[in-house]
Chain A
């Protein structure tokens, strides 16, 4: 069975601070994909990134960066110079072979960015 753990329930930061959201996953499959989604107050889940299990290169997209480490089964997400618009709930998710890409989600981390 698959499991995704987001130990941080809620994080509060002041604008312009950097913040890292942790994600730890469990699976016995060697082929899998990891995802991050953002759920702003409007409620709609917004896709941020997808990484496959064979690609451990870190990725940067603007103020967002992701650190994938198979050795620790972690896929952490860092927001640099946070902004108020980054306030949302962030979900990490996992999809494995043979499950038709259904997503197993973590419980989410609520990020509150204040002025």
Chain B
């Protein structure tokens, strides 16, 4: 079956611009996660959704970051007024639920802020 998909695969943007990153989870997976992978910070958790709800946004690096999920499926991570330190690979994962199920990751979106 189809895995987690993310788009775009690569995004180059100028500092100060807004970007939207999209994640399509595996069908039937109720939980969705966003992580960021960068050289300096490794793999870090950003936010999770159970259904369309994001109860814990404390992992988002700043208020320039926001995320939403609609219809219990597609999720969008938005970064406003991008900065060079936002350059990283943004990974999305989904799982059957929140109770310690394994998470399946998408290929990621490589964001480069120039």
A residues within 8 Å of B by Cβ? 33, 35, 37, 42-47, 50, 52, 91, 95, 100-108
Contact = CB atoms under 8 A, between A and B. Distances in A.
A33 B100 contact: yes
3 A-B pairs closest in CB distance: A45-B105, A105-B43, A102-B45
A102 B48 contact: yes
Given A44-B105, A102-B33, A102-B59, A50 B43 contact: no
B89 interface: yes
Interface of B: 31, 33, 35, 42-45, 48, 50, 55-56, 59, 89, 91, 93, 95, 98-108
Contacts of A101: 31, 48, 95, 98-101, 103
B100 to A, nearest CB: 5
Main secondary structure of the interface of B (DSSP, over half): strand
Contacts of B103: 47, 101, 103
A100 B89 contact: no
A57 B98 CA distance: 24
Nearest to A46: B105
Nearest to B43: A105
A91 B107 CA distance: 16
A101 B43 CA distance: 15
Task: With a 10 A CB-CB cut-off, give which of B48, B91, B102 has the most chain A CB atoms.
Answer: B102
